[in-house]
Structure 1
Amino acid sequence: MNMEDYSFFEMLIRTTVTFSVLLGLARILGKEQLSQLTFFNYITGITIGSIAGEVVAHDDTHYLNAITSLIWWSLLTILVSFISIKSNRAKSLLDDKPLIVIKEGKILEKALKSSRLPIGDLNMLLRIQGIFSVKDVHFAVLETNGELSVFKKVSQQSATKQDVKAPTGTPKFMPCTIIADGKVVLKNLHGVGLTEEWLHKQLVKHGVNSVEQVFYAEVESDGSLYLDLREDGIPVK
């Protein structure tokens, strides 16, 4: 853009009008975008912002065309939201549906693979909610916005040891993953002061002959081993 083509007042007007349009659209879309931030909502917000940026930053873009695109994109978003409210089938198609990834303390491998959620990320989502052991979870549901909803086992929901005046002690370990998808996580294993020999003995004690048979394993705070075998079978305890 040449300096002779520069129009200070034109840019002020374009920016002010675009700001006002965005403010109005945000009032309509904002609450849903924030409270139900699915992937569709996410890319919709980015696209609206990109169109608005194009309107303000490039004076060679026809202003009415850009504003029309901005408003029409927002109207399409509202239309999709309306359809999703009226039809559960459409909502599942557009926003996907919640997926159970842990059931009765057992990680569901197929669900993790279909949601493309690595074990490490699952552990992180659990830790965010203050849960350091998979076996404490009765159900865990991966929501359409990427958050994890957890229903703890009944034994983990009621009174604490302090409530019942039970003896408490210092945990030996912080629960951590030592086998993930059939592979030993040596960094974690050595980090808690344990060896591969110890792990092998624990596996044999539980009737497991090979690490490849184990989908997930973690050391508990008391030093015991929690195993989750492949093929969504019954977890070995």
Structure 2
Amino acid sequence: MSTVELILRLLLAFTTLLLLTRLMGRKEISQMTFFNFVSAISVGTIGASLAIDSTLSVRNGIIALLGWSVFTVLLGYLDLKSKPIREVMNGQPIILIKDGKIEKNALKKARLDLDALRVLLRKKNAFAVAEVDMAVFEIDGTVSVLKYQQNRTATKRDTGTPPIRKVYPAPTTLIADGRKIEHNLKELGITEQWLDARLADSGVQDIKNVYYAEVQEDGKLHVDCSE
């Protein structure tokens, strides 16, 4: 295989994989279930063969990628429409801790030991098993944790703190690397005069000195100046 052919195959394989991945949807990346895992490995293997295997023709490689992608999309559609098929392909969540007690049979079913369980719990800020009321091993390999009420983080409702008055729907970047994000200003209806005035209040004379600035939900401006 010549260098030119190799480069063309690499470009073709990359472009085809990118387009097909977009077609198959974000779930293939964000939620790695059994089905998604097998699908990703298969598509990646076919793509790699298309790129570097000279015995595989470009035509057959593309046909294989298209065929597998169609198969994946079809099964994804059936996954949405049929619960039995969804359970066969992805499995079911497994309750690891119930009413504060570790389910030993569930751990065996999930092929987890106590050390692995504690690691997963710590990732959910549960450093003691005694804090946990229920823990569920999800189909994507993560653990959802429900702590006992006395161990949960207090909310504003619990403490009687009134919620902030929201001026904007969410914190939004207005300046990045010394440049105004014009479309964000326009979307929020913020004028440049307002922004300049808030920067002046923060002691900023030149916008080029601002590394990052975002407006908070309550209308306050957070400014981070470059050194």
The normalised TM-score by structure 1 is: 0.62
Counterpart of 2:51, as a letter, is: V
Deviation at 1:159, TM superposition (A): 4.1
1:156 to 140, 151, 156: 151
CA distance in 1, matches of 2:18, 2:10: 12
Deviations 1:107-138 (A, max 9, x none): 01111111111111000000111111112111
1:23 aligns with 2:23: no
Helix, strand or coil at the partner of 2:125: coil
Inter-CA distance 49–159: structure 2 relative to 1 (3 Å threshold):
closer
Counterpart of 1:132, as a letter, is: F
Q: Which residue of 1 aligns with 2:89?
A: 94
Helix, strand or coil at the partner of 1:141: strand
1:108 to 91, 103, 107: 103
CA distance in 2, matches of 1:159, 1:91: 37
Conserved? CA contact 2:13–2:51, under 8 Å: yes
1:131 to 111, 126, 129: 126
Deviation at 1:7, TM superposition (A): 3.0
How many equivalent pairs are there? 157
1:83 to 69, 78, 84: 78
2:139 to 106, 124, 144: 144
Helix, strand or coil at the partner of 1:101: strand
2:42 to 43, 47, 70: 47
Counterpart of 2:138, as a letter, is: E
Counterpart of 1:107, as a letter, is: I
CA distance in 2, matches of 1:58, 1:112: 43
Deviations 1:80-116 (A, max 9, x none): 1111100111101110011111001100111111111
Helix, strand or coil at the partner of 1:82: helix
Inter-CA distance 9–159: structure 2 relative to 1 (3 Å threshold):
closer
Deviation at 1:139, TM superposition (A): 0.8
Deviation at 1:29, TM superposition (A): 2.5
The percent of aligned pairs where both chains have the same amino acid is 36
CA distance in 1, matches of 2:149, 2:12: 56
Deviation at 1:48, TM superposition (A): 0.9
Helix, strand or coil at the partner of 1:59: coil
1:69 to 64, 73, 78: 64
Question: Counterparts of 1:181-196 in structure 2 under 5 Å?
Answer: none
Q: Which residue of 2 aligns with 1:120?
A: 115
CA distance in 2, matches of 1:126, 1:118: 12
Gaps of 5+ in 1: 1-5, 165-237
Conserved? CA contact 2:34–2:89, under 8 Å: no
Deviations 1:161-191 (A, max 9, x none): xx99xxxxxxxxxxxxxxxxxxxxxxxxxxx
Deviation at 1:34, TM superposition (A): 1.9
The Cα RMSD (Å) is 1.9
1:60 aligns with 2:55: yes
Helix, strand or coil at the partner of 1:117: coil
Helix, strand or coil at the partner of 1:138: strand
CA distance in 1, matches of 2:66, 2:130: 49
Conserved? CA contact 2:9–2:52, under 8 Å: no
